[in-house]
Amino acid sequence: MDAQAELTRRPIAFAGSRLDRADHIRGDPEAVTRLMDRHARLLLLDGLEPRLDADAALVWGTLADAAPDAELVLLGLTEQGHARFVAAPPAGAASVSPPNPRLWQAISEIPAQDLAVYGAARSMAGWHARHRFCAMCGHPTVLAKGGWQRNCTSDSCRSEHFPRTDPVVIMLVEHEGRLLLGRQPRFLAKRFSALAGFLEPGESLEEAVAREVFEEVGLRVGTVTYIASQPWPFPSSLMIGCHADADSTALTIDHNELDDARWFTRAEVVDAMAASERGELGEAFGAPPRHAVAWHLLDWWLKR
């Protein structure tokens, strides 16, 4: 079985952008300025939400659409070498608010390429909006390197800051052919998904998987297997999808984290995934949405 081949049959949401990130250009301010030409386009956002046309495609304007003092982030170059930018929104709570409910609805309709470009743009624009000041000294920062860095403006500090990406482990836990899935309080009725949590400084991803599973449901896990990853732009995570074998089925659920956690049979997972293809809930539970890496983990589990 080639897990990678299975996974590429249906692209993972927010991955697969074809823009060239053009890392070699970012460090050359004159080259970045030269790219701000008549071929350049600006991704149009409302706060961090995408504007979509009738086909649910992203809407692009020209650089003239940006506010005069807007900070422009070079997202990358098209195959024709034309630059694509996004403007960092002004600082403030509104600009970095959680995703609009309409966005979750729209995600299944936005073309895969556009979704990938939007995800990167949202993460970067949100990072700038949340990092207008230096965490080292409190002085204002300014955009640098085409938007892939911010520099402190204080002469005695001059710290450089880089976009952050938070690794999250998300894992299928298995015991003798049954799969453990959990419900977070915010989930829609009957929905269950893979357990997940942020990786912390000082642990490998295998250790983070074991810690999170123990914290959330009290199980000890053995072998941890990596399956797939996904960039997740709310605000800027790397979802690292794994499979872990548990040594028992006795659960001690942390109800601060989870409403519920249950073991499901293969037949129940088959049914839930088939129902999700019809936009329905399965008999035993509702599968995670297809834009979540958890959907791919379940798909991988059924097909391996």
Residues that bind a copy of itself (CB under 8 A): 2, 4, 12, 14-17, 21, 23-24, 91, 116, 119-121, 123-124, 127, 130-141, 148, 159, 161-167, 198-207, 211, 215, 223-224, 226, 228-231, 233, 236, 238, 240, 254, 256
CB 184 within 8 A of CB 196: no
Residue 63 or 136: the one with the smaller Cβ distance to a copy of itself is 136
Which residues are CB-neighbours of 240 under 8 A, at least 6 positions away? 167, 168, 169, 170, 199, 205, 226, 229
In three-state secondary structure terms, 75 is: strand
CB of 223 to a copy of itself, least distance (A): 6
Residue 16 or 61: the one with the smaller Cβ distance to a copy of itself is 16
Which residues are CB-neighbours of 5 under 8 A, at least 6 positions away? none
Which residues are CB-neighbours of 52 under 8 A, at least 6 positions away? 58, 59, 106, 109, 110
CB of 248 to a copy of itself, least distance (A): 19
CB of 64 to a copy of itself, least distance (A): 25
Tally of helices (H runs) and strands (E runs) in the chain: 8, 15
In three-state secondary structure terms, 95 is: helix
CB 223 within 8 A of CB 245: yes
In three-state secondary structure terms, 265 is: coil
CB of 116 to a copy of itself, least distance (A): 7
CA atoms in the 13 A half-sphere facing the CB of 101: 2
CB of 281 to a copy of itself, least distance (A): 28
Residue 193 or 236: the one with the smaller Cβ distance to a copy of itself is 236
- Nearest alpha carbon to residue 229 among 187, 184, 167: 167
CB of 24 to a copy of itself, least distance (A): 7
Residue 208 or 272: the one with the smaller Cβ distance to a copy of itself is 208
Q: How far apart are CA 177 and CA 40, in angstroms?
A: 53
Residue 256 or 277: the one with the smaller Cβ distance to a copy of itself is 256
Residue 104 or 162: the one with the smaller Cβ distance to a copy of itself is 162
Residue 194 or 269: the one with the smaller Cβ distance to a copy of itself is 194
CB of 275 to a copy of itself, least distance (A): 27
Q: How many CB atoms lie within 10 A of CB 159?
A: 14
Q: How far apart are CA 20 and CA 134, in angstroms?
A: 29
Tokens representing 220? 């000890």
CB of 274 to a copy of itself, least distance (A): 27
Residue 239 or 272: the one with the smaller Cβ distance to a copy of itself is 239
